[in-house]
Amino acid sequence: MVDLKGQYDKIKPLIDNAIQDVIDKSSFIKGTQVQLFEKNLASYLNVKHVISCANGTDALQIAMMALNLKPGDEIMVPAFTYVATAEVISLLGLTPILIDVDNETFCIDTKLIEEKITINTKAIVPVHLFGQCANMDEIELLAQKYNLFIIEDNAQALGSQYTFRNNITKKAGTIGTIGITSFFPSKNLGCFGDGGALMTNDDNLAKKITMICNHGQSQKYVHDIIGVNSRLDTIQAAVLNVKLNELSNYEKARNQVADLYDKLLGNNPKIKIPKRSSSSTHVFHQYTIQINATERDNLKSELLKLNIPTMVYYPIALHMQKAFNLDHKIGSLPVSEVLCKTVISLPIHTEMNKNQIEYIAQSINTILQ
Ligand SMILES: *Cc1c(COP(=O)(O)O)cnc(C)c1O
């Protein structure tokens, strides 16, 4: 699904030097590379503050802590996403309100949010799934109308740009009250372990987030609020500083793969290729097609016989996960439930060549005749 070794080989001397430098200075925690990376990412995204942390899941949790969300508060979140998005909501004793997604973009269906808003609703957490932005025009309107926070889960769409109806363009993760992202190795900007970050334009929130990431500390051994220990290691920051320079090339490479897949698979009547949003660019964290549920698992196993890996993101919608203990009935979030049975994600990464893409597409077209 990814070729992290191939990607590393192309920038090996830069990465190796950056890591060696951290070891030589033995500045493993809060070394200069960490602040430098926060600055570099902030300028890449055109946002005032980037605060790094240990992983994307922590970033979500820290965002909700910083916004003072309290047990009983209801948080709107799509039912078709990675578990982390809703997990931290439950962990903090908040109530996840799962919303169905749009069949074309896989993102939260903004037409279904308003009917679920109550006096307890405090925030919407749009997930920019697979690499393109949710409908942020509608989400901003709802947030203004009902005075809600927006926490963008931007773990999969770093670099993606959203153009509002008034023609203003912003980078994903910088639109809401707080944006979060992940540097898990297979994400579009991945480090060599775990990493994450929060983005905000609000100075006070940035201060609070920085404190929460570091045990709620305002000065050494002075703790004003309850926080966590969630920091980006200096070695990871050093790797990310090198790889951030490559991010736009990585985005181009992924789009080239997607364009070729579109061309080779788009005419197969059994395949629904991913829809490109008219208001968002796509960074193709995943290239996810939809096919008939009766053929999906067979396609997956036939491709595996040809050494072609595929993944089902995601096989179970969140309202059907035991962990959340929600009393949703089957059919209550129908689009999410159907997608779990019909989606399949194909290999897409920065090191793919034309032959590989053609081999995969031809194999799929042969199986799905
Ligand atoms: C990867 C991911 C996360 C969590 O990031 P980690 O760094 O693995 O904790 C959260 N949300 C989404 C949508 C993700 O894809």
- Please tell me if the CB atom of residue 56 comes closer than 6 angstroms to any atom of ligand 1: yes
164 and 286, same domain (yes or no): no
Q: How far is the CA of 266 from the centre of ligand 1 (A)?
A: 29
Q: Rounded distance, CA 148 to CA 168, Å?
A: 21
276 and 170, same domain (yes or no): no
Number of domains in the chain: 2
- Please tell me if the CB atom of residue 184 comes closer than 6 angstroms to any atom of ligand 1: yes
- Please tell me if the CB atom of residue 196 comes closer than 6 angstroms to any atom of ligand 1: yes
Q: Give the count of beta carbons closer than 10 Å to the beta carbon of residue 220.
A: 7
The reported pLDDT for the residue numbered 304 is 98
The reported pLDDT for the residue numbered 325 is 84
Residues 183 and 240: beta-carbon distance below 8 Å: yes
184 and 196, same domain (yes or no): yes
Q: Rounded distance, CA 174 to CA 179, Å?
A: 6
Q: How far is the CA of 196 from the centre of ligand 1 (A)?
A: 9
173 and 134, same domain (yes or no): yes
In angstroms, how far is the first alpha carbon of the chain from the final one?
A: 24
The reported pLDDT for the residue numbered 327 is 78
In the numeric block, the tokens 């203003």 are attached to: 168
33 and 169, same domain (yes or no): yes
Closest CA to 318 of 83, 19, 72: 83
The pair of three-digit structure tokens given for residue 223, joined into one six-digit string:
């703790």
The reported pLDDT for the residue numbered 328 is 83
Q: How far is the CA of 131 from the centre of ligand 1 (A)?
A: 13
Q: Rounded distance, CA 230 to CA 34, Å?
A: 13
Among 226, 244, 262, the domain boundary falls at 244
280 and 358, same domain (yes or no): yes
Atom index in ligand 1 nearest the CA of residue 183 equals 7
Q: How far is the CA of 153 from the centre of ligand 1 (A)?
A: 8
Q: Rounded distance, CA 32 to CA 237, Å?
A: 9
Q: Rounded distance, CA 55 to CA 193, Å?
A: 9
The reported pLDDT for the residue numbered 214 is 95
Torsion of CA 119, 125, 126, 128, to 10 degrees: 180
Among 197, 226, 244, the domain boundary falls at 244
- Please tell me if the CB atom of residue 81 comes closer than 6 angstroms to any atom of ligand 1: yes
154 and 170, same domain (yes or no): yes
pLDDT, tens digit only, all 369 positions of the chain? 999 999 999 999 999 999 999 999 999 999 999 999 999 999 999 999 999 999 999 999 999 999 999 999 999 999 999 999 999 999 999 999 999 999 999 999 999 999 999 999 999 999 999 999 999 999 999 999 999 999 999 999 999 999 999 999 999 999 999 999 999 999 999 999 999 999 999 999 999 999 999 999 989 999 999 999 999 999 999 999 999 999 999 999 999 999 999 999 999 999 999 999 999 999 999 999 999 999 999 999 999 999 999 999 999 999 999 999 887 888 999 999 999 999 999 999 999 999 999 999 999 999 999
230 and 296, same domain (yes or no): no
171 and 73, same domain (yes or no): yes
User: What CATH number has the domain bearing residue 50?
Assistant: 3.40.640.10
209 and 280, same domain (yes or no): no
- Please tell me if the CB atom of residue 188 comes closer than 6 angstroms to any atom of ligand 1: no
Among 220, 244, 268, the domain boundary falls at 244
158 and 79, same domain (yes or no): yes
Q: How far is the CA of 82 from the centre of ligand 1 (A)?
A: 7
- Please tell me if the CB atom of residue 153 comes closer than 6 angstroms to any atom of ligand 1: yes
Q: How far is the CA of 54 from the centre of ligand 1 (A)?
A: 12
The pair of three-digit structure tokens given for residue 295, joined into one six-digit string:
């053929």
117 and 66, same domain (yes or no): yes
Domain span including residue 295: 247-367
- Residues in CB range of 181: below 8 A, 6 or more apart: 56, 59, 154, 155, 158, 173, 187, 189, 196, 197, 199
The pair of three-digit structure tokens given for residue 318, joined into one six-digit string:
């969140």
User: What CATH number has the domain bearing residue 358?
Assistant: 3.90.1150.10
The reported pLDDT for the residue numbered 273 is 98
Pocket test for ligand 1, best of 82, 191, 285 (most atoms within 8 A of CB): 82
The reported pLDDT for the residue numbered 326 is 84
pTM of the model: 0.97
